[in-house]
Structure 1
Amino acid sequence: MDAMHFRHATKKFDPNRKIDEEDFRFILDTGYLSPSSFGIEPWRFLVIQSPEMREKIKNTSWGARGKMDASHFVIFLARTAKDTSYDADYLLDHYINVHQYPDEALQGLLPMIENFQKEDFDLLVDDRRMLDWSSKQTYIALANMMTAAAQIGVDSCPIEGFPIKEMNELLREEGLLEDDSFSISVMAAFGHRVQDAPEKSRRPFDDIVKFV
């Protein structure tokens, strides 16, 4: 609870305070180990260290301005339908070579994913719906990383303030979307605040939580 009260969407970061390498690896690992639907890990985390790349992002994303002083800046990519469709080569490779599922397990799992994508969530209507499904999962990793950061006294700020098309064009020019296997989902800055956080304000607990 101390960590949850400590965490806030930090708007200004101290450029002179850097996150210890071991601490940032801890933050990344909590994202890396996060759960995903059917265990497909439909994400990639780009840690932006290049000053030139940070400048390009700042000039493209209005939400990133003022956050580039942060010690670390992360772009969360989501895998597109090209890799997440039930019949995608990536998915088959993932289950065979990462999860090492035997053939009989795949014979049960892949039809289940097909039914889920076609019927349960109606995802195959268009590529954007599939991308939104992947993007939702990147927010699980994002939330875990922000909470983990707060547990060790590191500040963070999630960032959605960017034009998707322009940011994807920038990342594509940098060769970071792997032939459109990825698209930008969300970004986040990690570092240390320069001023105290305001007191948290939330709707009444009973307005948010309902026992039925």
Structure 2
Amino acid sequence: MDKNEELINLAHRRYATKKYDPNKHISDKDWNTIMEVARLSPSSMGFEPWQFLLIENDDLKQAMYDDAWGAQKSFNGADKFVIILARKNMDINSPHIKHMSEDVQGHAFDPNSPFAKKVISFQENDFKLNTARELFDWTSKQTYIPLANMMTTAAALDIDSCPIEGFNRANIDRILADHDVIDPEKWGTSVMVSFGYRDQAITPKKRQPMEAVYRVIK
């Protein structure tokens, strides 16, 4: 089998698992690989506006159960349950942008530099990110990059997964804050994802034909 066929088969193998076998567990080596791929994922301007929460606290899961309705089956069987947070207030005055510039990327941060002006122009003019909600939506969209990479990596390791948007964001954020997990002024829940080993058959994917989703513009 060539690499192209392997990749297509991998896409077919990835399946939004609703029923997991609670008796099967992911090895530390495989889990560390999934998380390392998440860490290495790209982000807009390299700001990495995310954090990954591996939820192992049963009391916290129970507290979230009613408000995370799309995660209930995962709570009842998945080996790993992750909440991906997105940063709030990611404008040029964000301490995180300064941290990423100086401590991670290795260059001095100057809010009046050409780079800073580029960030401001991009946010305010190109993408019209002029409110707190618009900025959060921008950072939240970026979390779907590591989300996809995590699920694809899992599939390559014969591990199943399920992306989850079935939750009340305001209530989940409140619960996480009440349990001293997040500062809601700095973080918001973007998406959830579970991992484990399925206890169900994979059904064939139903997708639109290529010509419906792909156009070549010459």
Counterpart of 1:17 in structure 2 is 24
Q: Give unpaired runs (5+ residues) of structure 2.
A: 1-7
Count of residue pairs the alignment pairs up: 209
What CA deviation, in whole Å up to 9, does each residue of 1:69-98 have, x standing for no partner?
1000000000001xx111222211220111
Aligned-pair CA distance for 1:178: 2.6
Matching of residue 145 in structure 1 with residue 153 in structure 2: no
RMSD across aligned C-alpha pairs, in angstroms? 1.5
Instruction: Give runs of aligned pairs for residues 26-175 of structure 1, distance below 5 A.
Output: 26-68=33-75, 69-81=77-89, 84-102=90-108, 107-124=113-130, 126-175=131-180
Matching of residue 7 in structure 1 with residue 7 in structure 2: no
If the length of structure 2 is used for normalisation, what is the TM-score? 0.92
Residues 111, 117 of structure 2: 8 Å contact kept: no
Q: Which is richer in helix?
A: 1
The 3-state SS of whatever aligns with 2:73 is coil
If the length of structure 1 is used for normalisation, what is the TM-score? 0.94
Q: Structure 2: how far apart are the matches of 1:110 and 1:175?
A: 33
Aligned-pair CA distance for 1:164: 0.8
Aligned-pair CA distance for 1:190: 0.3
**1:70/1:211 CA distance change after superposition, 3 Å:** same
Q: Structure 2: how far apart are the matches of 1:140 and 1:146?
A: 10
Q: Structure 2: how far apart are the matches of 1:32 and 1:57?
A: 26
Moved more, 103-112 or 12-21: 103-112
> Which of 190, 197, 204 matches 2:202?
197
Identity of aligned residues (%): 36
Aligned-pair CA distance for 1:28: 0.8
The 3-state SS of whatever aligns with 1:75 is strand
Q: Structure 2: how far apart are the matches of 1:9 and 1:58?
A: 19
